[in-house]
Structure 1
Amino acid sequence: MNVSLKDIIPNKNPSQFNLNKIRFKISKKVESYCQCNQRNCLICARKRSSSMLSMKNSIVYDENSPVSKCTVEQPKPIQPFNRSISRQQSNYMGRVSVNVSASTNSTNNYGRTRKTSVESSPPKDNIIGKHSFKYLYVIGKGGFGKVWRVEMKANKQEFALKEMIKAKIISKRSVNSVMNEKYLLEHLKHPFLVNMHYAYQDRENLFLVLDLLRGGDLRYHIGRQKRFTEEQTKFFVCCILLSLQYLHQNGIIHRDIKPENLVFDKDGYLRLTDLGVARLNKDSSASDTSGTPGYMAPEVMCRMDHSFPVDYYAVGVIAFELLLGKRPYNGRNRQEIREQILAKQVQMRDDKYSGKVQDFINRLLIRKPQQRLGAQGIHELFEHPWLSNYNWGKLLNKEIQAPYIPGNIDGNFDYQSQISADSEPQEEASTLLRRKSVQCLFEGYKYF
């Protein structure tokens, strides 16, 4: 039962009496029932006053109490994913959980300071959004929008911000792809991956805040260098294998290993990015043919079940291209490349390079996945004679001098000129964004 002032005052015309002279008593019974806590409620105001008087000297603060200290739970090691995990649950997994209980000083109406323990929550001003960053300039372009170099206003730290237009995502039927990428990235963190720091959205766009790598992608440098030495190729391949080892240990097939998805940092180390078509390894995958034709394994091209060896095949194609300046199979479309793969088995034969590297590449390019190097696991690649003596520990800690240093090229005019202008999203797709049901497709796209 809620009692307010209007229930207590007699129902009379205000002209019949002076409200300032009304006298009434509040019974304890009524007072105990009223819980409206409204500012204009005299009952609740009286209860607040009496409770403050009773609390005046009753609270004892113990500085050694664990309640007064911040408790931070360290993140658990990443485990192989459970396919039953829902997208909604993903917002609460794989992050550092911080439970803060702080002691605060507050002053009551009687001018005395009292200490209470309260559980603090982050202020609304700390919510990450477009307002949190200063946009510097465009450093790249993807299928759904631009990649910006940005500076976080709060701490002046620089990031790469991937801006994706929802209308383009819908028109290309790629909603599952972008949601999948964010879901995977929030569970992953590795020195040879481009890691995610934040994710958020507005009505028109999705935003991913990623590590800023200023060395450009491998495709840009292949265009400049044409060919690389065997030592440089070995270093690049080892960087790729460390990232793949981490993904495969977590049950993830990348499925789109290509030079465009390998980015240099300023020290010359390659990192893997773009998990848009990556997926968990599962039993049946015959109908799933995502990837880039020039680097796509034969079993994917022919709509067969596939697993981790599809990534090793792509590594072989990249190594072949780095050394010889061309891919083993070329064609204008998927059908032409498929016909070439079915027609013959390519073999690398070049006296300029060692027999070990040629054997390594040829075994990765074997058409049958059961016979391909890595069919029994990625350890087969690590144990191959071409890589068996490599110092993997120093590479993981980035203590090896890279044989190729790209420098900072994101502000280079030649690099900037490769970034084409965005095409406008279709008007039909833009209109769809007004529907609540369409916006629900991107529900849960956040990570703070």
Structure 2
Amino acid sequence: MGAVCCRPQPIDFDGEVNLFHFILLRCVGKGAFGKVRVVQHKQTRDLYALKYINKTKCVKMKAVPNVIQERRLLEEVDHPFIVNLRYAFQDDENCFFVLDLMLGGDLRFHLERLGCLPEDTVKFYMAQLSSALAYLHDMGIMHRDLKPDNILLDERGNAHLTDFNIAVHFGERKLTGVAGSMAYMAPEILLKRGYTYCIDWWSLGVCGYELIFGRRPFRGRSNNDLTYSITRDPLKWPDDADKKCSRNGMLVLKGLLERDTSKRFGCKSNGEGFQELRRLPWFRTIDWDTLESKEQTPPFTPDAKKANFDASHELEELLLEDNPLKAKARKANQDNLSAEMRQMEEQFTSYDFKKMQRRSYYPHNQHLISTATATSSGLASSRPGTPANDLRVENSQLRVVEGADGIMYSPNSFDMHRDDIQMKERDITHVDPEKEYS
């Protein structure tokens, strides 16, 4: 008789999505107030990346508006080169994002391992990312934090844009809030003259330069030096630039790193900037008609036998976690919540992509089941979706946002990396959407 009462309750897959719907697999990353792990849907057997954000820590870091804004923006976007939202829900302790699982790692991981990437590989990524940016801008969204850390590869080697934590809608009025990763910020952000979606094209240029040459185009030993370099220094090429990049490639990078937004590639209105970019000689080898269908074979295929992320997160989860994640029934009494907790409770609404009849860009998801169920060691994901900064904070760039008291930098400031001063970033940088416009 006693065994009957302990029998697991049946799962209502037709009801609102919750953590009981998923099998929790390996942990692949952590952030300031949450972690990222691989999960498998118990009914469909599909694999996803689960990012969970601790509500209490979120409130302490005044990041509630960012989490809610990210949740809303991800519901709007649906593109083959974006890490798309599949489910969203919450329990008493956490807010959950269930996103496309990227098995190939982020480009920061590969850049640090390889030093630089071949020009043709970078061109392929930039074509895919420019398609994603054009889509976002057409939706009235600017990303504001494009960098190698936030570019994820699937297991075939296609590039995807992730981390919409400080993404924001834009309109005719320019924004003035300083938000993003400093080394990738466009000069108009640092000069505080107001900016719009053109900043994303600048960041794409910085990423392309860094991936090809293994170093960023503008650098500094201090924040002031870096600001000066981004806003005033002429664009220079490494001594061996002609060995790593063609003249047509350099012309594209130069056009994206144009300080005059009226001349910067990609910045013409009504999508004409993207069409102009597509017509450049450097992109003649790209078959734009089949790019978004992912019919093309990427020039680089991540090693499926290796973990493309920091494996120490799994050890930390096993040895150090005092409150491991598990599915829990919600408490009935929610009357004594703080204003911030109430805001998350009401505005971080549930989401199910199948009920929204959205497409899945990963029909191959099914064949990954055996890898997940047989052994967790074969699963590798780096920065899945918004998880981007959750997966590796150690070697990321300075991420800043300007509050009422000026620019606020994340803690644990200086961390030397290569020839630049790097800053450790918080996972969610507070930006008040209501105070973004000038």
Do these two structures clear the TM 0.5 threshold for a shared fold by scoring above it?
Answer: yes
Contact 1:264 1:271 in 2 (8 A): yes
Partner residue of 1:351? 242
The alpha-carbon deviation at position 127 of structure 1 amounts to: 2.1
Determine the C-alpha separation between the residues in 2 that align with 1:153 and 1:234: 39
| RMSD, matched Cα | 2.6
SS at match of 2:280: coil
Among candidates 300, 324, 347, match of residue 444 of structure 1: 347
Residue by residue over 1:371-426, the C-alpha shift from the partner in whole angstroms, topping out at 9 and shown as x without a partner, is: 212231222221222114521112111111111101336x728631378969999x
SS at match of 1:177: helix
SS at match of 1:291: strand
Aligned residues between the structures:
319
Partner residue of 1:417? 312
- The gaps in structure 1 that reach 5 residues or longer are 1-121, 426-432
Is 1:221 paired with 2:116?
no
Which structure 2 residues correspond to residues 194-233 of structure 1 after superposition, within 5 A? 194-233=83-122
Which structure 2 residues correspond to residues 82-101 of structure 1 after superposition, within 5 A? none
SS at match of 1:126: coil
| Distance change in 2, residues 1:414/1:209 (3 Å) | closer
SS at match of 1:263: strand
Determine the C-alpha separation between the residues in 2 that align with 1:418 and 1:362: 39
Determine the C-alpha separation between the residues in 2 that align with 1:189 and 1:330: 35
| Distance change in 2, residues 1:238/1:419 (3 Å) | farther
The alpha-carbon deviation at position 344 of structure 1 amounts to: 1.2
| Distance change in 2, residues 1:391/1:152 (3 Å) | same
Decide which structure has the larger Cα Rg and report it: 1
The alpha-carbon deviation at position 308 of structure 1 amounts to: 1.9
Contact 2:104 2:308 in 1 (8 A): no
Is 1:393 paired with 2:289?
yes
- The gaps in structure 2 that reach 5 residues or longer are 1-10, 323-334, 353-438
| Distance change in 2, residues 1:418/1:313 (3 Å) | farther
Partner residue of 2:71? 182
Residue by residue over 1:194-225, the C-alpha shift from the partner in whole angstroms, topping out at 9 and shown as x without a partner, is: 11111011122100011111111111011111
Is 1:383 paired with 2:288?
no
- Opposite residue 196 of structure 2, the aligned amino acid is S
Which structure 2 residues correspond to residues 244-393 of structure 1 after superposition, within 5 A? 244-331=133-220, 334-348=223-237, 350-352=241-243, 353-376=245-268, 377-393=273-289
Residue by residue over 1:221-272, the C-alpha shift from the partner in whole angstroms, topping out at 9 and shown as x without a partner, is: 1111111111111111111111112111111111111111111000000111
Contact 2:88 2:96 in 1 (8 A): yes
Determine the C-alpha separation between the residues in 2 that align with 1:366 and 1:421: 44
Normalized against structure 1, the TM-score is what? Answer: 0.66
Contact 1:345 1:367 in 2 (8 A): no
Partner residue of 2:22? 133
Normalized against structure 2, the TM-score is what? Answer: 0.68
| Distance change in 2, residues 1:414/1:198 (3 Å) | closer
The alpha-carbon deviation at position 332 of structure 1 amounts to: 5.5
| Distance change in 2, residues 1:128/1:379 (3 Å) | same
Determine the C-alpha separation between the residues in 2 that align with 1:417 and 1:123: 35
Contact 1:167 1:204 in 2 (8 A): yes
The alpha-carbon deviation at position 125 of structure 1 amounts to: 6.2
